[in-house]
Amino acid sequence: MTRRGTTHRWQRAAGAVAALALIAGACGGDDDDDADGDAVETEDGGDSDDSGDSGDSGDTDDSGDTGDSGDTGDSGDSGDSGDGDTVDVAQGGDLLDTVLSRGSVICGVNETLPGFGIVDSEGNYSGFDIDYCRVVAAGVLGNADAVEYVPLTADARFTALQAGEIDLLIRNTTWTATRDGVEGSNFLFTTFYDGQGMMVPASTGFTTLEDLADAAICVLSGTTTELNLTSVFNARGIPFTPVVFEDNTQLQPAYESGQCEAWTSDASQLAAFKATIEGNDGPEQFIMAEVISKEPLGPVVADGDTAWAQAVNWAVMATVQAWEFGLDSSNIASYSGDDPNIQRFVGQSEGFDPGLGLPADFAVQVVSQVGNYEEIYNRHIVPIGLQLGGSPNDLWTNGGLMYVPPYR
């Protein structure tokens, strides 16, 4: 579906929130809505999964700091300006009903991060995070294409979520304590484990962070990447100069022109941009081995709506469970075995209803239309140079971290 403009709607939503705050104050209430708006996923901040600390990783999820999320690229813009369309905002925790009535899922995404969220010249979105927006639409509505994408920068993502401009955020966003608390956000199943890294032109010969003493380092603003960079370099006594950009469309050309000697972001984002630079006959790039943060990336919904959170979470987790069961887009709809666990999962167990508000065959719709986790990963992440086997994102039975609760 087409992108939605959000700038004017945010202004209207902000006005409404301000008015409600005045009323609440007059009644002695506390309006504390603190969200700073900080924002993915990495912004994109990178993530290999982040190993790290500050938590949020940088870009791939780039998640920002306090809440921010950043993104490696953070694509998009604040919001895409727009057409002034209005959004049905659910009140009182009834977003699932609102989405069912509307017939579409409004998903906040990145549009400038290869592998995770990108838009082509014709307005078509693709990427790992984009597919997870489609997963939710398939699970809830039975139609993976019933998605309206709202491109957001790292700085704008949490504001959009809090204002009800989007139903969920899937934009390389790192899960941190502050975002979970102060931002009023509910982080769901981690779909990608990332970590912040550092990339330099191979010709520099730099291989460690200490080699970057007095270097200019490109980084996205409003992300955990920026915070992690400062924290780690200060702790080690490595002097540096941060060169800050709002999104990757500004950062990448600055890096390639030599304005920065290094680029820090989620490892996954760096891998994506390394492939892009070298694929366009640019100079060879080198990603340092050290990962300086943990960046768990995944879907985010607003606090206070358990029904919607459960529906989103189980739709997303179905991709991992299908992979574990050996089910994929080619065979899940035709399953005819007698394993009771799989029968429940594919909706063949008569009378079984876990009370999640999802159709009995939601897993079949998800996997047949979008794929299992392995299929989604191989489609978007392997092409940017990150293999699944042996990574933290591999299935738990293979030594990875992908593990979901039983569907029973």
pTM, rounded to two decimals? 0.77
**Full domain range(s) for residue 240:** 1-408
Query: Directed axis angle between helix 95-102 and helix 128-141, to 10°?
Result: 90
CB atoms within 10 A of CB 337: 10
Cβ-based burial of 388 (10 A; exposed 0-12, middle 13-18, buried ≥19): middle
Quote the CA–CA distance of 227 and 292 in Å, as a whole number. Answer: 11
pLDDT at position 4, please?
Answer: 57
Dihedral sign, Cα of residue 281, residue 153, residue 46, residue 318: negative
Question: Which one, of 36, 341, 384, lies nearest residue 183 by Cα?
Answer: 36
Domain count, the chain: 1
Residue 11, φ and ψ in degrees, nearest 5:
-65, -40
Question: What pLDDT, on the 0 to 100 scale, is given for residue 205?
Answer: 97
Q: Are strands 300-302 and 185-187 parallel, antiparallel or unpaired?
A: antiparallel
Residue 69 pLDDT: 37
Average pLDDT, 10 consecutive residues per value, the chain (408 residues): 47 40 38 36 38 39 41 39 45 83 98 93 97 98 98 92 97 93 95 97 97 96 88 97 91 96 95 93 96 96 97 98 98 97 96 94 98 98 94 97 96
Q: List the CATH number of the domain containing 277.
A: 3.40.190.10
Q: What are phi and psi of 321, to 5 degrees?
A: -65, -40
Per 3-state DSSP, the chain is made up of helix, strand and coil in percentages (nearest 5) of 35, 20, 45
